[in-house]
Amino acid sequence: MTSAATARVAAARPARQVIARFFDRWSLIVYTLLAVIYLLLPVAVIILFSFNDPAGKSNFVWQGFTIQYWLDPFGPLGLSDAVTLSLVIAFLSTAIATALGTLIALALERYSFRGKGFMNSLIFLPMATPEIIMGASLLTMFVAIGTPPFFPLNFLTILIAHVMFNISYVVVTVRARLAGFPRHLEEAAGDLYANEWQTFWRVTFPLILPGIVAAALLAFSLSIDDFVVTNFTAGGTQTFPMFIYAKSRIGIPVQVNVIGTCIFLIAVGGVAITTLAGRRKQR
């Protein structure tokens, strides 16, 4: 090899190293940024079109900027009742599912009993079952229990259905928090003459609280936007997702985007507050 060729190879080698270092440093960041943009793009469209001023009932084409729909978010008939019902069901189902799911997670993680393996399999069953199958099964069960109007499809049946599919997500989330739980802290509390109730509320519960909050947020999100299971178990009751589906045939009001934006901002704010509080507590 001539000296000139050797010099060219030596000059190209640092260039390849620079490119390799640049790729190693920025590839993951660029990939993550593109993934976040892809996930948040529909949300950005919802926020943008909450300020749209459509010429007719259709809100699919940008016509102009306005804030009039933010000043009257519950203008369309029935929207206020649908949103209120969805929020009530979401809060109640989240509270019930979080309480029951946390207790089930503690039992499955801490104790050994007959049928534990079968119970573990049942926990994942609602998560693996398609929603349309679950909704049809629940409808069949409610009808078999008592034909309406003796057991009507209404608020109660929706609540039972939402609690049923939310429990699985709560159990899985809380068990993930319990997997690395420092049991020696509970033993230390017992050595200091704390009974089981005091140990749970003063030691166990504060340590697993971030997992419980995360499970509750997940359950709330799944409940408030569920349509398929709710459609089978609602009867004549109309939740917010069912209101949107009914209006999609004639034109979705701009106020739907306004309420969707508010729900998104509240959810993001709740997650941010929880994260900051957890970091502050760790410090």
pLDDT digit string (tens) for 18-72? 677 777 777 888 889 999 899 889 889 888 988 888 877 777 778 888 888 898 8
Sign of CA dihedral 184, 187, 193, 198: positive
Contacts of 105 (CB under 8 A, 6+ apart): 170, 171, 174, 175, 178
CA distance 19 to 185: 50
CA distance 184 to 190: 10
Tokens of 36: 């976040």
202 HSE (CA, 13 A, CB side): 14
Return the percentage of the chain with pLDDT > 70, whole number: 90
Tell me, which fold does domain 77-252 have in CATH?
A: MetI-like fold (1.10.3720)
Contacts of 227 (CB under 8 A, 6+ apart): 241, 242, 245
For residue range 195-241, list pLDDT tens digits in order. Answer: 778 888 888 888 888 888 889 988 998 999 889 999 998 888 889 99
Does the pTM exceed 0.85? no
CA distance 38 to 192: 53
> Of 59 and 256, which is predicted with more confidence?
256
Confidence of residue 141 (pLDDT cuts 50, 70, 90): confident
Do residues 98 and 220 touch, judged by C-beta distance below 8 A?
Answer: no
Tokens of 233: 């178990």
